[in-house]
Amino acid sequence: MPISDATYAPFDSPEEYILQWTDRIWRDYGLGRLEDHYAADMVVHGAYGPIRGMQTVLRGSLAKKSAFPTRVGTAEDVICEQRGADAFISHHRVFHSGPQTGWWTYGPPTGRNSESRNIAICLVRDGLVVEEWVVRDEYRVVTTLGLDPEQIARTVAFTDEPDGLFGTAAPTDVLVAGESGVRPESHADEAALINEFISAVWGLRHLELVPAFTQRDLFLETTRARVRTRADNYQSDLVQMLAPFPDAVVEVRDIAVNTAAEQGTRVGVLWRLSGTYDGAPAYGPVTRSPVEILGASQFLLRKGKIIREWRVFDEIAVMAQIARARGDVPQA
């Protein structure tokens, strides 16, 4: 059953819905339009915990726009996939750039240019966003503003909700239905490839399999604006991501696949990493405390193999959990 035009009206496609609404709200100072874009009871899942209700989102958006009034969010890609006749899921990869000229959570204006990559994953039903998962490279934001990541991590709060960042158990079979609902039957092979890659290589630590899943000239763009090329450097970066949490469990929570003439076949993935900070002391002295990470990746496929991955997660949120477990005193 094809998706109803009403789901993304008045635009020509789900991709245009996402791009045009982003500009209408952020470029045009149309923050009051949020009530026409978000359901009143919508939920945003972020790296520090859930945000509930459109009005709460509006308050946070006003603060962000005030701090970065001329910041530009440029779409790198939008991966959309149908979720029944009345809904679609969108994995929107955005590169943000612009100066901090107003007060922000981290303090007074720095005047410096902030740069970061975000991935916003929106479930749109009957023309309204009803649920969203937002992942930001906040470490890159902090460092481009000239601030100290460790000091900032002591000032931010992480959720105390017992159900954590997602509030639900992992999907039984993400290839059939993920956080966003039942997937279509199309692109089954591509979704299965990426699910197997993350499950086997990331989850079971079979890093020796990376070359079997990837093209020779593999590119990884990940947190802190780091770029890694070819399989051996991908393996090295993945080991460094996992090593602080040796018992880490990686869950694939949602998958969307789209093929377009210009962009090729891309796969968007929402994932969760949970583990204990008792391994490599990458974030200071180990605490043997639990850490939860909400992450997102986008993969570009070529001839049935991975040629590129963009990976985003919030290392400031990781550091905030560890700082709290360590009992660090917040510093202004």
- Within 10 A of 209 (CB to CB), how many other CB atoms are there? 16
Mean pLDDT along residues 66-72: 94
Residue pLDDT, tens place only, 207-249: 999 999 999 999 999 999 999 999 999 999 999 999 999 999 9
- Within 10 A of 257 (CB to CB), how many other CB atoms are there? 25
Fold equal for 5-153 and 177-326? yes
Residues 317 and 138 sit within 8 Å (Cβ to Cβ) = yes
pTM reported for the whole predicted model:
0.96
CATH architecture of 5-153: Roll (3.10)
Beta-sheet strands, E only, within 19-163: 38-46, 49-52, 72-82, 87-99, 113-125, 128-136
Binning the chain into helix, strand and coil, the percentages to the nearest 5 are: 30, 40, 30
User: Can you read off the two tokens belonging to residue 232?
Assistant: 């051996």
Report the mean per-residue pLDDT for the chain: 95
Q: Is the pLDDT of residue 321 over 80?
A: yes
Domain map of the chain by residue range?
A: 5-153, 177-326
pLDDT bracket for residue 2 (50, 70, 90):
confident
How would DSSP label each residue in 102-133? S-BTTBS---PEEEEEEEEEEEEETTEEEEEE
The predicted pLDDT at position 163 comes to 77
Q: Yes or no: is domain 177-326 CATH 3.10.450.50?
A: yes
Residues 38 and 52 sit within 8 Å (Cβ to Cβ) = no
Residue pLDDT, tens place only, 16-31: 999 999 999 999 999 9
